[in-house]
Chain A
Amino acid sequence: MYRYNDFDTAFLAERNAQFRAQVERRIDGSLTEDEFRPLRLMNGLYLQLHAYMLRVAIPYGTLRSAQMRQLAMIADKWDKGYGHFTTRQNIQYNWPKLPDVPDILDALGEVQLHAIQTSGNTIRNVTADHFAGAAADEIADPRPVAELLRQWSTDHPEFQFLPRKFKFAVTGSPNDRAVTRAHDIGVRMIRNDKGDPGYEVLVGGGLGRTPMIGKVIRDFLPPEDLLPYMEAIVSTYNTLGRRDNKYKARIKITVHENGLDTFRDKVEARFAEVKPHFSGVDQEILREIEAHFAPPAFRNAPTEAYEAERDANPAFRAWADTNLSDHRAEGYAIVTVSLKKHGDTPGDATSDQMRVLADIAERYAHDELRISHEQNVILPHVHVSDLPAIYAALRGADLATANVGLISDIIACPGMDYCALATARSIPVAQEIATRFEELKLEHDVGPLKLKISGCINACGHHHVGHIGILGLDRAGVENYQITLGGDGTEEAAIGQRTGPGFAYDEITDAIERIVRAYLEHREGPDETFLMAYRRLGLDPFKAALYDDAKGKAHAA
């Protein structure tokens, strides 16, 4: 895992010292809020509905146990004993007090974490496949590339005032778990017909007000051109992107308005200019970074203990069936720890849970943890013989919910319970839907189904790419929830289609149940997933279930 060098450490210490002085000047009245606001945002400090919120970047979602323990310590010492993991693989603290924030940032710095560029019109935390370095289907570990992009983009002088925020995602696997097609730039590590490694570069994806699927701007970029090409794209956007209207400022609109071909021509022209300035140092740095991500020493051990526990313990078996994924090393598994216990807040972990996860990672999982954009925690490298002990430890911390990939494994943004931009709540909607399906004991029959909820059009909850998406709106002073169906965040990315009029807060759970029951009625069999059935059937049967019966009609807003 990447560790800071002296330069990184010194840079961070200096930034934190600067911010400490800025906070002091704000508190003693020498800075107004107008002057202070951009400074605090540069350091990840937002002001939300009920309190400040500090957003801490977790680069490509990767944490060591010591870092997780420090996150827990911060939650206890300066917050309310928990943290919220986000769809950008970040952690947010919902209750920090302004005078404490400099101390929090110093505590983060002790474990090589920070909150820089988690806000503002800059290049944000670079996200990556949460199974990086572990997945059986992986071509290459995307994290060295993500780390290179992180180093290049952090404090990049040209890119501190972009037209709008800018998000990168990287995957090294053909099965896209990083939603690269919904990012400003998506980088897919691929091999060409000759077997040479390179990158497919996607540009102009994004959700929000105008959702768009990223387009291929280069189908094969040689490895040594990566940084110059990224520099060319962001630089082209920086001059071409609109600054007159913030709703048209993201690169997706720049690409859309200029056309992909025109945009590509400009990028290629810029690329020709910048390429000579890259002497190859970036490639040397990448080699060094790659050394930090050498795979752990996997062990060769018997797996009988795992099989025996599966036979003996049905609860363990159910958990293993939903929460494990294929690992590239024999005898190993990837564990997804669900932060979606039915009725709890999606993505929240208490400080105790963070410490348990850190202990498990240290003891059994090569000291590695990942945060997924689906707001769960991953133990990427686990030998299956350790699974019974891990499961027992997770159970003890209320972390053994067996629902990964099922309807209760909901992505939900903070919504109007915390977020100042929200138009409706999302957390209680997620809580109620998860609780409903737990009561119905239906979700294992239903099978894979991704439900995603956003509390406003900004779409932090990725609702557009949910198989079922829910968008909370304010309709004439009342919360109203719009449903979309058929979204997909994978390599076959698609934007969901609106079903029709939205539903009131107290009707949305019933509406979701009607959709799911319609699916069960119409599917060809358990092998036809919700998404497959939707693709075969289209919206009609689901619309009928939502709106046709008298109850549905009476409730339609």
Chain B
Amino acid sequence: MPRAFTPKVVTANALLEGDVVYLTEDNRWTRDLAEAELLTDEAVAEERLLDASRRQSEIVGAYLADMSAGTNGPAPTHFREDFRRTGPSNYHHGKQADALSEG
């Protein structure tokens, strides 16, 4: 029996800034996890990752991160991805601050 596939998003770090980005359905890189494309089919996910990894002049180190379907888009299932989505806990830096300024 095939094991159940945990949904994924394609994520990476932006080449210039180094910050966390996610792949959207229309092939943009977004800073906002809520906008990311949630991939529920393993074969599709692998293909999306392969395509994304070729975009060497935009990003670094693309990989598939486990997510669940949340009410506001994909939601991390592991604390590491939760921190990547937010930023460090000791300072109001990273995405938590960027979200405000973009707000």
Contacts and interface: CB of A to CB of B under 8 A. Distances in A.
7 contacts: A27-B57, A33-B61, A48-B18, A50-B93, A98-B16, A99-B16, A345-B90
A27 B89 contact: no
Interface in A426-472: 427-428, 431
Contacts of A49: 20, 80, 83-84
Interface string B70-103: 0000000111100110011111011100000000
Contacts of B89: 417, 425, 427-428
B46 interface: no
A29 B56 contact: yes
Given A33-B61, A50-B18, A431 B83 contact: no
Contact of A416 (B15, B19, B83): B83
B31 to A, nearest CB: 11
Contacts of A478: 79
B18 A32 contact: no
A418 interface: yes
Interface in A17-33: 26-29, 32-33
A306 to B, nearest CB: 36
A95 B17 CA distance: 8
Contacts of A33: 56, 60-61
Contact of A32 (B56, B79, B84, B93): B56
Given A416-B80, A479-B79, A52 B90 contact: no
Interface string B48-65: 000000001100110000
Q: Main SS of chain B's interface residues?
A: loop
A97 interface: yes
Contacts of A27: 15-16, 57
Contact of A47 (B61, B79, B80, B93): B61
Contact of B77 (A99, A431, A477): A477
B78 A477 contact: yes
Given A50-B94, A474-B80, 20 more contacts: A29-B57, A32-B56, A33-B60, A49-B20, A49-B80, A50-B84, A51-B18, A52-B18, A97-B16, A98-B15, A98-B17, A99-B16, A345-B90, A416-B83, A417-B90, A425-B83, A427-B88, A477-B78, A477-B79, A479-B79
B78 A80 contact: no
6 tightest A-B CB contacts, nearest first: A29-B57, A417-B88, A52-B18, A51-B18, A50-B94, A345-B90
B68 interface: no
B88 A418 contact: yes
Interface residues of A, number: 31
Contacts of B61: 33, 47
B54 to A, nearest CB: 10
Contacts of A98: 15-18
A47 B16 contact: no
A33 B12 CA distance: 12
B17 A28 contact: no
Contact of B13 (A32, A47, A345): A47
Interface string A105-140: 000000000000000000000000000000000000
Contacts of B88: 50, 94, 417-418, 427
A96 B93 CA distance: 13
B15 A51 contact: no
A26 B77 CA distance: 33
Interface string B6-32: 000000010111111000000000000
A345 B93 CA distance: 14
Contacts of B18: 47-48, 50-52, 96-98
A32 B59 CA distance: 10
Contact of A80 (B13, B16, B79, B93): B93
Contacts of B16: 27, 97-99
Given A27-B16, A417-B83, A50 B90 contact: no
Nearest to A428: B89
